[in-house]
Every structure is written in C-alpha cells, then in structure tokens.
Amino acid sequence: MLMWQNLPYGVAILTFMLGIYCLLFKRNLIKIAIGLKIMSDGLHLLLLCLGYRAGGRAPILPEGGGAKEIVTNLATSFVDPLPQALVLTAIVIGVCVSAVALSLAVKAYQRLGVTDTVGLRGK
C-alpha cells in the first residue's frame, strides 16, 4: 500500500538508482565519483528510514524517576538510535572512498592527461 510514511523509502531507492544510473552512463571520472556518493547516500537514507518512528521520542532517558511509563514503553516509544550510529560510520567511510576516487581522478589527469574512463582505458 502506498502511504505517505513509505515515501522516504521510495526516495532512498530513487536516490540509489540515480547513483547507479550515474555510474553506468557518465564517463567523467569526477562525475563517477559523485555518482558513487549519490548511490551510497541512497543507502544511508534507507538505513535512517529503518530506525525512524513517527512521533517517537529521542532515545534519551529523562533524569529522575518521573517518567516510569516512558521506561516501560521504551521499546515502542523511542526512535531506534542504532541505524543513526551506523549511518554516521557509513558516511565517514563514504568520505574516504570519495577522497580516494577524487585523488585518483587528479592523478589520472596529472599523470596521463585524461579525465574520463574512455581515455583511462585507452592508455
């Protein structure tokens, strides 16, 4: 059933597909690096969606004992914090991959004078 709360999943898959499209049909080395980033961002969005709960609370216990019902309903009322931690890690890794990809693009231009995959293959 198509519902508004499923929209983020759709956006995530669309972003992922857009990245794949970019990898498949772009030749410029920098554009391909951007495509990789878009693809992984789609994945990150998907992970975030998994942990989201509409109307959920931040997963922080209130101080004191005043919120006993919150603690007992912990599993159903909190937003899942784990995917956010995972995404944070994945973003850092994504930055590393982008950095390596871009530096390779720079090296390809410096050493070989090419900026696209066709030129890289021809060398």
Instruction: Out of 79, 80, 84, 115, point to the residue binding another protein (CB under 8 A).
Output: 80
What is the rounded (10 degree) CA torsion for 61, 62, 63, 69? -90
Q: Which residues contact 65 (CB under 8 A, 6 or more apart)?
A: none
Site for another protein contains 97 (CB under 8 A): yes
In the chain, the DSSP E strands lie at none
Q: Count interface residues toward another protein (CB under 8 A).
A: 35
Instruction: Out of 3, 63, 112, 115, point to the residue binding another protein (CB under 8 A).
Output: 112
Q: Which residues contact 46 (CB under 8 A, 6 or more apart)?
A: 9, 12, 13, 16
Instruction: Out of 11, 38, 50, 70, point to the residue binding another protein (CB under 8 A).
Output: 50
Site for another protein contains 14 (CB under 8 A): no
Site for another protein contains 47 (CB under 8 A): yes
Cβ(41)–Cβ(11) below 8 Å: no
88-105 burial, b at 16+ Cβ within 10 Å, e below that, comes to: eebeeebeeeeeebeeeb
Site for another protein contains 22 (CB under 8 A): no
Site for another protein contains 18 (CB under 8 A): no
Residues that bind another protein (CB under 8 A): 20, 23-25, 29, 32, 36, 39-40, 43, 46-47, 50, 80, 82-83, 86, 89-90, 93, 96-97, 100-101, 104-105, 107-108, 111-112, 117-118, 120-121, 123
